[in-house]
Amino acid sequence: MEKHIDSAVEQFRTLLTEQIARQQRMEKESGATDFSKLSKIVIGICGGDGIGPIISSQAERLLRFILKDEVASGKVELRTIEGLTIENRVAKNKAIPDDVLAEIKACNVLLKGPTTTLKGGTLESANVAMRRELDLYANVRPVCIPEENIDWTFFRENTEGEYVLGSRGVEIPDTLAFDFKVTTNAGTERIARSAFEYAKANGKKKVAIVTKANIMKKTDGKFSEICHRIAKEYEGIEAEEWYIDIMTANLVNERIRSDFEVFLLPNLYGDIITDEAAQIQGGVGTAGSANIGDKYAMFEAIHGSAPRMIEAGLGDYANPTSLFKAAEMLLRHIGFIDKANLLGKAIAICTEEEKRIVVTGYTDGATCKEFSDYLMETIEKL
């Protein structure tokens, strides 16, 4: 037993040293990319697993349609990136194979289909690895239900918490296992500032800071303290303290849920509660997700690769709306605001107003391609 304890202590020392070094690197970060100053913006398209290649191919079609003038002039380039599949990742025993990561880093932004994450083992999630490798610290997920006066924007810290060391826990065989949760000052400060800057720029008056600081006193306690300190710099914006368990209940409380505007959360809580919020909006297939860093950004659907749909032969009937909303966020991020607004308006018409063609996920509904055609026809009419 002493041998196992010594090994675990040495492993923890290594992890601790790495995380201190990461904190020091964050303290030296430079400013964000100014896309208006780039001579060319490179958008990578990554299919992923399961239904990913199906919905990604339609999202690429959509972007080429919307950006046809910019692609023709050379202002925008769309690149298809192969190899981020579960088969390739398992074969190379890497969350993101080196050659694939190099291709991704040669792009400015990425539109990514869902990837499969294996249960157990040591192969890390591709998403977690990408967020770390590209330092995509802000996961931004909007949820909007106009008829219920719901307009929520979630700012989830994306590179820390339980996920940063999720595949590197310590185990004493046949006895116990530890996983680790990491909260750094620099990591918390930058996600907090992102949330409050968004609130300030968009006329929002409330930011809900959501933790379990009453129980996770060191990590969540630090997150809460730093967020409230940053909040003092933003006059006129109220910082509210909530615990994650009651907040999950608040989102389904029709009496008060429309009072919330911006949410600021650590990694794990943000992952869970944004799926709940998307379900309230109409399902996880209806929400897009942005993963934003200072140099890179990655946009994706919030749902998984839906292997059961593939097994049932229903892949062509997958709903692409979540990835299309991610494409809208991508356009907005790189400065094509008018095009993003146009796409957002067309999605609303096709999914909320006109609904002439509906994707159900089954053969009684439209295929992914049929819905994409419908959306592009709608854009042409606007």
Residue 377 has pLDDT above 90, yes or no: yes
Long-range contacts of 90-99, Cβ-Cβ distance < 8 Å, separation of 24 or more: 90/118, 90/123, 93/123, 94/123, 95/123, 95/124, 95/125, 95/126, 95/128, 95/129, 95/130, 96/126, 96/129, 96/130, 96/133
Please tell me which of 35-39, 117-121, 313-317 the model is most confident about, judged by mean pLDDT. 313-317
DSSP-derived pairing of the beta strands 288-292 and 138-145: antiparallel
Residue with tokens 């509904």: 365
Mean pLDDT is lowest, of 214-218, 257-261, 299-303, for 299-303
Residue 102 has pLDDT above 80, yes or no: yes
Question: pTM (2 decimals)?
Answer: 0.85
Residue 285 has pLDDT above 90, yes or no: no
Q: How much is the average pLDDT of 73-79?
A: 97
Which residues of the chain are in CATH 3.40.718.10 domains?
A: 32-136+293-382, 145-152+162-282
Higher pLDDT among residues 3 and 77, named by residue: 77
Q: What is the mean pLDDT of the chain?
A: 93
Q: How confident is the model at residue 6 (pLDDT cuts 50, 70, 90)?
A: confident
Residue 322 has pLDDT above 80, yes or no: yes
Q: 32-136+293-382 domain in CATH 3.40.718.10?
A: yes
**Domain range 145-152+162-282, CATH architecture:** 3-Layer(aba) Sandwich (3.40)
